[in-house]
Structure 1
């Protein structure tokens, strides 16, 4: 288990805060009750940051016929919809909600070349809100695989998430399961798949990034 690089600043702030409140408690010789309260708060804050920015090492099995889960979380949407930004056709949308306790690393669902990328500033509606896909801060990434199939996926900020991080750009070749970004503090990832894809998950399923097979392409 590694600590993700996106958490270094947050960890430094928390450690500094813990040092300050503990120093104040000891300098003013606070009573045992206050000191223990400070210790408990310090431990809680430290553990919260460590668990949120954890980045488990995963062995990825690459398979061009499948769509790999891009994030840890729970499946909250499976529906046919119109994708209007880039693909401009009917697609199956699969949405994964990431709670603050999930690993927040985002992974490429397929291998290929990034044919489209765009960052959208926006609102911070709760991640399960119907308009979060179009109104919230988000990125749109499209990857075309070796068979010419394009899959669109979005990082969507939630009510708590105020920063989306991405490591990809248009024209870049990416590998299935490789990190393409990170979202801080509660978020959602949407996938837009071809209509003839075989969906392997159901609404309410808990899924694991880089491990769960979300769908299979029609052969």
Structure 2
């Protein structure tokens, strides 16, 4: 492996939200070293964690027509029928919801699962329950986006704050046009993103599957393949 390739596996681009937090962690670490050296080394570890939390690596996004990719790194925690958030005004029909849970070690930059125009963005305050729980979709703080594709169909993408998350960041506006895999926001510090698939579209992922944002294909809108099954091996 070339030296620059090795370096790129360790040194990652940082989301702009991260610089102030990394600076705070580094400053506290300096103070901890002045108080007691072992505490300082604990601070070093936490500063490194903070750096990697805000990492924002490049991703290789498949762009064939109809492919819908994961909006987040993490694990598929739920696949079930559910009605999209009422504030998106997408009707009361239950659609297949795929939930991706991000722990505090995952990359937290969120990306558009498919290209299209954002027709609605709706923020709703709420609780901070464990984001892996089903009821988090209803009760937790959330930010919902409706993305209209070229064929007129819409998908819903919902950023949900978690147990230790205290801020949802959305960097796009209504009317914005996104490409598949394009960054649209992030959540700190542990959270979940839900994707509501169009009617009749089956997910190509399974519960417990590890997802890579902008790379892992969640569904193929052009396919009639039945829902995939998986088992731990």
| TM-score normalised per structure 1 | 0.91
- 1:174-198 C-alpha deviation (Å, 9 max, x unpaired): 1110001000111000011123113
Query: What corresponds to 1:17 in structure 2?
Result: 28
The alignment partner of 1:41 has SS state of: helix
Structure 1 residues 84, 7: closer, same or farther in 2, change over 3 A? Answer: closer
- Contact persistence 2:96–2:202 (CA under 8 A): no
Query: What corresponds to 2:90 in structure 1?
Result: 87
Deviation at 1:60, TM superposition (A): 2.2
- Contact persistence 1:196–1:218 (CA under 8 A): no
| TM-score normalised per structure 2 | 0.86
- 1:42-86 C-alpha deviation (Å, 9 max, x unpaired): 221111111111111123232331111100000011112223512
Structure 2 CA distance for aligned equivalents of residues 43 and 15 of structure 1:
7
Higher radius of gyration, 1 or 2: 1
5 Å-filtered alignment, 1:1-219, equals 1-25=12-36, 35=37, 37-85=38-86, 86-88=89-91, 89-218=93-222
Greater CA deviation, 16-25 or 64-73?
16-25
Task: List alignment gaps of at least 5 residues for structure 2.
Answer: 1-11, 224-233
Structure 2 CA distance for aligned equivalents of residues 112 and 195 of structure 1:
17
Structure 2 CA distance for aligned equivalents of residues 105 and 84 of structure 1:
22
Structure 1 residues 78, 98: closer, same or farther in 2, change over 3 A? Answer: same
- Contact persistence 1:198–1:218 (CA under 8 A): no
Counting strand residues as a fraction of each chain, which structure ranks higher?
1
Would you say how many aligned residue pairs link Structure 1 and Structure 2? 209
Structure 1 CA distance for aligned equivalents of residues 166 and 103 of structure 2:
14
- Contact persistence 2:32–2:40 (CA under 8 A): no
- 1:74-121 C-alpha deviation (Å, 9 max, x unpaired): 001111222351212221000000000100010000111101111111
The alignment partner of 1:11 has SS state of: helix
Aligned alpha-carbon RMSD (Å)? 1.3
The alignment partner of 1:214 has SS state of: strand
